[in-house]
Each structure stands twice: as structure tokens, then as C-alpha cells.
Amino acid sequence: MAQQRETQDARQAPHPVPAPEPPLMHIAAAVAREKGADLVLQTLEIEAPRPDELLIRIVAAGVCHTDIAMRDQVFPVPMPVVLGHEGAGIVEQVGAEVTDFAPGDHVLMSFRACGDCASCGAKLPGYCHHFYDLNFAAQRRDGSTSLTCEGVAVHSHFFGQSCFAGYVVAHHSNVVKVATDAPLDILAPFGCGIQTGAGAILNALKVPAGAAVAVFGTGSVGLSAVMAAKIAGAAIIVAIDKNESRLALARELGATHTVTAGADPVVERIREITGGGVGYAVDTTALPPVILQGVAALAPRGVMGLIGASRPDEELHLNIIDLLTQGKHVRGIIEGDAVPATFIPELIALHAAGKFPVEKMLTFYPFAEINQAIHDSEAGTTVKAVLRMG
């Protein structure tokens, strides 16, 4: 307990921010400056990459609900900050210690992990013991940032990248090389949301052929789970949502059945469809009443995966006897239990083979319309917004 309190205190204590290096160039960026407010398009200065970093010109960036949650301070990310964590682009410079990349490489970016803790050693970097500091602190581990605005520090390195900008300085460990003819605008969201949904099915739950699966919520993460369940050979794939247009898209992408939340008795319909319940369920909504429906819809020994990010103070109250006597499991899943350097290429290969048609849920926006892309994502009129830097 003392060690845990010490760690929490360390997270809350402000890090001294070293003086920035001389700027390399001026770049366009969207800066979050106030809680809940539109991002501000500004010209910033960016440093040259350090020995273990790369300078990457951003070609496209996905808009994730995590970015919106950070803008709204659901988690206390320091401001001003450049958000964005589903970046794709082209390497411009590499630091002296970087050997796996070269200028001209086409790359995607994903989350950061330390590479040294027990979770990283077990090839589960999503549970890195330093995940919070490396992804949500929006600065390097020494407290510095790579961005300034007229000499004043702007927080960078959100999820190791801060890709709502024309260029980023990223650590080499969260960069994944792709083919030079790869469609970067389509692949950009693979770095977080898409790998989260697909990985929940393929890596974390390891859904076997012939299984029955329920997916609660059909945003981009849920639809990625639906496509992955089809790839896994699930016999029954039930998608649950309030939005009829998204349910129609879920059927197009592989759902065998859909249930309209709020209109249908969800648990009863799932049990009717499956003849007793599903072996596997994933929740992308992070809403406790929906999660409880998912647990209730499990067959004996079924597994419920939680992949939607809730508020930090959110709690879930489960019936212990139901879990005990039915042998049910409820588990959290971060980033689809993926090792991005290996899993993202697997997803790209599935996409190239026509088995993972993510482009059907993408809507593209020019970078200058980033706030419109965010508003459309919040309203649910866009399933997955992707910014083209252009």
C-alpha cells in the first residue's frame, strides 16, 4: 500500500520541464487549450529528434474518443497539449541511435510502453507498469516536450506521438513500418481503436471457430470486433446498439444478428438467438447498465471483455453468485492485448486480402476541419473520422 501511494504521489507531483532545445522548424498543429473547447489551429515550433526518436511528417490521423475524453479532462492531461494518437506518416529524420528506420519509411504509430517491466516482458505492453506516464503525461519521461508556441512549452508525446499536427517527434518503440504503397489514410486508425476491437477478439478472448459472440456498441471499436469475430469463424455474431444505421453496417461487416437497444429486450433476445447465451462478449460503451446486460447474456463459463474506457470514478456492481455458480469471467482489455509491431502488420494483411474492410466505416476530413470531425464523432453521425493532412 505504501508503495502504491508513493507511485500515485509521484504521478501527481509536477515534473520540472527542462528548457526546450532550439526549434527545428515551424509546424501546423491543433492545440487543446481549454477543457471542452474546440481545438485551436496554431503554428508551433518543433525540436529535432533526440537520439532515440524520429521526426515524422503526418499524412493522416484518426480521431479517437480517447482524444475527446482528454480534451474534456476526463483524465487530467496537462494543457496546452497537442492530442492525437492514431498517426500515420513518412519518416523525415532519425536519431543517432535509431537503426530500424530510415528517412522515407512509411509508418504507423501506436501507444508507448517501457519495454522493461514484467508486462512488457510477457509481451503484453498494453499493461505496461508505466503506461500512464508514457501515454497520458504528454511529455517525455524526463518531463520535456518537443513543442513550443512562441517559446512557451506545449505538451507533446501524447501516446508517444501527439499526431494532430503536421509533424511529430516520436519514440522509435511505438512506430511500426509499413509498405510504401500502403494507404496511410485508411490504416492510420489501426494504431489504437481498430487494433483494440480486433485484438479483443483475436488476442485477448481468442474466440474459437463456431463460437457465439455479442458485441455491445457498434462504433469503430465494436465494428472492428465484429469483423474480427467473422475472421475467427464465429458462428453467431450479435451486434447491439441504438443506432439502426450502425446496426445495418454491422450486418454488412459480419454480424449474423442485430439487437436494437432500447427497443428490444436485449438479454432475452441474445438468449433466444443463441439458445442460452454467448460464450464471449465485449463491451465498448463503458456504461455499467450495458455491461451488466452483457454479463447476464453470457452462457455458463462465458467471458466478458471490457474495452470501453469509463470515467476514473466509475464502478461496476456485479452479482457474485451469478459469477460464482455460472463460472463467468469479466476482464479488462487494453489495446487488444496487442504487440503493435506484430499485430498491426497482421491486420494490414487481412485488410489487403479483403477480409477486414475498415474503409466502410471511415469518413475523411481535411485537417483544417478537425473540430467538425470531432463534433461529428460526438454526435454519432460519423463512425470513424480520419484527418488527411494534405
Q: Report the pLDDT value the prediction gives residue 24, as an integer from 0 to 100.
A: 79
Mean of pLDDT values over 126-151: 94
Three-state secondary-structure class, residue 17: coil
Q: Where are the domains of the chain?
A: 2-191+357-388, 194-334
DSSP state of 202: I
Q: Choose which CATH entry (1.10.10.410, 3.40.50.1220, 3.90.180.10, 1.10.3470.10) describes domain 2-191+357-388.
A: 3.90.180.10
**What does the pLDDT look like over 290-312, one tens digit per residue?**
999 999 999 999 999 999 988 88
- Res 2: pLDDT: 37
Q: pLDDT (tens digit, 9 = 90+) per residue, 197-217? A: 999 999 999 999 999 999 999
pLDDT score at 23: 72
| Sequence-ordered list of residues with C-beta below 8 angstroms from that of 355, at least 6 positions apart, any chain | 227, 230, 231
CB proximity list for 70: less than 8 A, separation 6 or greater: 32, 77, 81, 83, 136, 158
| pTM of the predicted model as reported, rounded to 2 decimal places | 0.91
CATH T-level assignment (fold) for domain 194-334: Rossmann fold (3.40.50)
List the end-to-end C-alpha distance of the chain, in Å, as a whole number.
50
| Length of the chain, in residues | 390
For residue 372 the three cell numbers come to 467538425
The pLDDT of residue 13 is 45
**Worst-scoring range by mean pLDDT, 15-29, 221-235, 272-286?**
15-29
Given a cut of 80, whether residue 22 has pLDDT beyond it is no
For 63, phi then psi, to 5°, come to: -100, 120
User: Tens of pLDDT along 166-195?
Assistant: 999 999 999 999 999 999 999 999 999 999
Gap between the Cα atoms of 138 and 100, Å rounded: 24
The grid cell for 278 is 454467448
Q: Which residue has the cell 518531463?
A: 143
Cα gap 368→292, rounded to integer Å: 40
The C-alpha angle with vertex 158 and arms to 154 and 164, in degrees rounded to 5, equals 75
Measure the CA angle with vertex 84, ends 78 and 85; round to 5°.
105
DSSP state string for 127-180? G-TTHHHHHTS-S-TTS--SEEETTEEEB--GGGT--SBSEEEEEGGGEEEE-T
- State how beta strands 175-178 and 167-171 pair: unpaired
Calculate the average pLDDT of the chain: 93
Question: What distance in Å separates the CA atoms of residue 244 and residue 327, rounded to the nearest whole number?
Answer: 33
| Cα separation, 227 vs 237, whole angstroms | 10
Q: With residue 279 as reference, give the H or E element that holds it.
A: strand 278-283
What is the number of other CB atoms lying within 10 angstroms of the CB of residue 217? 26
User: Looking at residue 20, what is its pLDDT?
Assistant: 54
Residues 6+ apart with CB under 8 A from 113: 119, 120, 125, 126, 128, 130, 131, 134, 173, 174
